């Protein structure tokens, strides 16, 4: 399996509901380093997994939708805890949608799976991994 990874970052604010979150129930900020790994069994005729430039552009656009925002105020997230795990899945779904719209070029159609990792710090991160063609 071949893998290509692109990276970006986003800064957000949010709060959580539930005693399990302790002080994180209060409004706080987070800066995430976001990695997206594109995986496929073979490279294409050009010898690549995916166009890295296009992949980076799409990731920048996706994280840009949330950057510098208070996620508590995003209507689509109403009633949801925007945990690192939740956000990893959200990024995954948006990258899959971009692949399906050919925003990463025709070669990206052969990408079988993605792994999206959000690094909260140098000691903590969460990820979501799934098959592109199985995603809803």
Which tens digit of pLDDT belongs to each residue from 50-76? 999 999 999 999 999 999 999 999 999
Q: Give the predicted TM-score (pTM) of the model.
A: 0.95
Which burial class, exposed, middle or buried, applies to 91 when counting CB atoms under 10 A from its CB (0-12, 13-18, 19+)? buried
Rounded-to-integer distance, Cα 64 and Cα 121, Å: 20
Laid out side by side, the sheet with 69-70 consists of 69-70, 2-14, 28-40, 113-119, 125-131
Domains and CATH numbers, the chain: 2-28+47-116+123-128 (3.30.479.10)
Give the length of the chain. Answer: 136
pLDDT tens string 21-30: 999 999 999 9
Residue 136: is its pLDDT beyond 70?
no
């Amino acid at each position: 399996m071949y893998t290509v990874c692109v990276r970006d970052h986003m800064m957000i604010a949010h709060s959580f509901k539930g005693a399990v979150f302790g002080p994180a129930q209060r409004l706080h900020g987070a800066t995430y380093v976001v990695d997206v790994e594109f995986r496929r069994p073979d490279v294409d005729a050009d010898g690549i997994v995916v166009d890295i430039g296009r992949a980076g552009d799409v990731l920048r656009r996706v994280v840009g939708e949330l950057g510098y925002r208070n996620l508590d105020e995003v209507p689509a997230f109403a009633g949801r805890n925007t945990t690192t795990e939740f956000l990893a899945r959200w990024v995954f779904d948006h990258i899959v949608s971009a692949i399906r719209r050919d925003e990463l070029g025709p070669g990206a159609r052969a990408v079988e799976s993605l792994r999206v990792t959000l690094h909260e710090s140098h000691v903590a991160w969460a990820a979501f991994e799934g098959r592109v063609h199985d995603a809803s």
